[in-house]
Structures are given as C-alpha cells and as structure tokens.
Amino acid sequence: MTYPLQFSAEVAAALKENRPIVALESTIIAHGMPWPKNVETAREVESIVRSRGAVPATIAILNGNIHVGLDDAQMDLLGNSKDVWKVSLRDMPYVVSQKLHGATTVAATMRIASMAGIKVFVTGGIGGVHRGAEKTMDISADLTEMSMTNVAVVSAGVKSILDIGLTLEYLETLGIPVVTFNSDDFPSFYSRKSGFKTPLRLDTPKAIADMLKTKWDLGLNGSVMIANPVPADKEVPFEKMESYIREALNAADEKGIKGKETTPYLLKYLANLTGGESLAANISLVLNNARLGAEIAAAL
C-alpha cells in the first residue's frame, strides 16, 4: 500500500520506534457528539492513551489529505465545521479526490489504520445491523470491514438503536470473535448489559493481546470485537434507554431519515431526549475504552 498518509510527528516517531499506537476515529467527533464536548472528549481520550504509554492517532481526511494524528487546529476544524463528510469506505475515493474534509467511520478508520500499520483501534460503538434490516438492508460497512482488516476494535458494545441480536449473528457469520472484557454480559453502549450473553470473555489486556496475536498468527484475517462495558457510575439502565431509543426510532421514521444519516440523527436525538445523561455515559465509556485500548496496544 503506497498511498501517501500525513502522519503527525508523534505518530511518525512511534511508528519508526515500534512503540504502541492506538488509532481513533473522527465520525464520533464530527457527527457523534455536540461541539464543544466532542473536541474536549477527543483531547481527553488522547491524553489518556498517552498516560497509559501509547501514542494516539486520530484519523481524518482534511482537504483530501489522509491524516493519521491531528494537531489542535485540525481537531477544532473537525469538531466545529459544518462541511465535514461522514466517510465510510465507499465515500473515501470521492472525498479524497475532491479534496474535501471527512470524518472517518469505524470502517474507514480501520482501513487507514491498517495502511499505517496500526493494530489497535478505539471507538465508542460500532455500526451494525439496524432494526428492520430485513426490509431496509441497512447493515453497516463496519461489519464487513471487520471481517477483512487486521485491526482490533475496542468499543462499549453495540447500541440498541441497532438490532443487537442480529448484529451478533452477523459477526458470527463473518468469523469475527466478540470478547467482552471482565463481564459475562455483552454490553449495549449506554448500559452494561444488553440481554445477550457475551460469546467470549477475557479479563486482562494481556490475555486479549495474546488472543489477537494468535488470531493473526493463525492466518485468520479480520478484526476482533473487544467489548468494554461502560463504567457503572455513568451507565443508563438498559430498560430506561430502550424506551428513549424507541422514541428516537419513531422520530427518525416519521422524518423519513435513511441511510448514512440514520446513526447521526439517532445519536443527536437521544442526547437531547435524555438531557445529557446519554452524553455523559458516552463520554465516560469512550475514555474507559481509551484506557483499555492503550493497555492492549502496549501488551501487544
């Protein structure tokens, strides 16, 4: 892969010296959280990664350039500008060749991380199989990307704006291991449980790193989904969140929201509806994932 990437000095040095690096996505900044909490959180995530001995590499497209590691001004631009595309895999060649700004989803961030040689990626929640997908066919490219690209994804599970059961089935079909850190329950982003047991459980970053190395040594390509439950003090109980989510889904339906607009619309609606409670959970779980991701990268 020879396409030129723009590395921050910090990431370039870490790559050269083979030090642990954690990739971070930017859709969560531009389309997943409101300004200015989005940029504050992104910076805090980066400092947590550093405090655990790894180097943060936030990935985004600016004026068509693919950046791995952002400076302060670039982070502000992403978090505060209206004309930032949400870039999944299919959007990448358009946004790059048209020299536009793009915030990368899980799928696009993983692909760029892989091009850069980064093995561990931290986010909040992945995209998955939407409720009603049997009619709409709305299944995130995050899942197919996870079946192909050798980058581990640390998330807080799958949000119940999606169909969690179908998403777990789809992950199984694609051969993607799902490992929950320190819990038997598969988490649902805002909540520590989802009504589903986790397929696999590991309790230390070292054990997770060992499993990653083993998977790739075996020639089994693709990701591992590492689910890290939201800290208990910031969790929104599953049943309570479920009723908010039903209301958000109804609103999206009535407004005819479709395709790539669906996830950002629902996230914004929920943040308003819960009066910031969901946003506080969201911030807490991202910081928690940064901690675990940095420790896994260091162990790897």
Q: Catalytic positions, please?
A: 25, 159
| CA-wise closest residue to 150 among 204, 123, 111, 195 | 111
The residue range among 21-29, 111-119, 270-278, 289-297 that interacts with ligand PSU, by the rule CB under 6 A, is 21-29
**Alpha carbon 198 to chain centroid distance?**
19
Amino acid letter, 117: G
The DSSP element (H or E) to which 254 belongs, if any, is helix 238-254
* CA torsion angle 124 276 243 128 (round to 10): -20
Q: Which of 52, 67, 119, 159 binds ligand PSU (CB under 6 A)?
A: 159
Q: Which of 56, 124, 187, 229 binds ligand PSU (CB under 6 A)?
A: 124
- Whose Cβ is closer to ligand PSU: residue 16's or residue 82's? 82
- Whose Cβ is closer to ligand PSU: residue 153's or residue 212's? 153
Distance CA 73, CA 95 (A): 20
Confirm or reject binding of residue 145 to Mn ion (CB under 5 A).
no
Confirm or reject binding of residue 138 to Mn ion (CB under 5 A).
yes
- Whose Cβ is closer to Mn ion: residue 213's or residue 258's? 258
Q: How far is the CB of 172 from Mn ion (least distance, A)?
A: 20
Give the total of residues touching ligand PSU (CB under 6 A). Answer: 18
Q: Confirm if 266 and 161 have CB atoms less than 8 A apart.
A: yes
The DSSP element (H or E) to which 244 belongs, if any, is helix 238-254
- Whose Cβ is closer to Mn ion: residue 8's or residue 263's? 263
Q: Confirm if 26 and 33 have CB atoms less than 8 A apart.
A: no
- Whose Cβ is closer to Mn ion: residue 171's or residue 212's? 171
State the CB neighbour count (10 A cutoff) for residue 74.
Answer: 18
Q: Confirm if 112 and 104 have CB atoms less than 8 A apart.
A: yes
Distance CA 284, CA 299 (A): 23
The residue range among 1-9, 66-74, 134-142, 199-207 that interacts with ligand PSU, by the rule CB under 6 A, is 134-142
Instruction: Give which of ligand PSU, Mn ion, none residue 88 binds (C-beta under 5 to 8 Å, depending on kind).
Output: ligand PSU
- Whose Cβ is closer to ligand PSU: residue 214's or residue 272's? 272
Q: How far is the CB of 233 from ligand PSU (least distance, A)?
A: 20
Q: Which of 27, 149, 284, 289 binds ligand PSU (CB under 6 A)?
A: 27
Q: Confirm if 131 and 124 have CB atoms less than 8 A apart.
A: no
Burial 15-41 (b: 16+ CB within 10 A, else e): beeeebbbbbbbbbbbbbbeeebbbeb
Which residues share a beta bridge with 202?
181
Confirm or reject binding of residue 91 to Mn ion (CB under 5 A).
no
Q: Which of 11, 14, 22, 28 binds ligand PSU (CB under 6 A)?
A: 28
Residues 248-277 that bind ligand PSU (CB under 6 A): 260, 263, 267
Interacting residues with ligand PSU (CB under 6 A): 25, 27-28, 32, 88, 105-106, 124-125, 127, 140-142, 159, 189, 260, 263, 267
Residues that bind Mn ion (CB under 5 A): 138
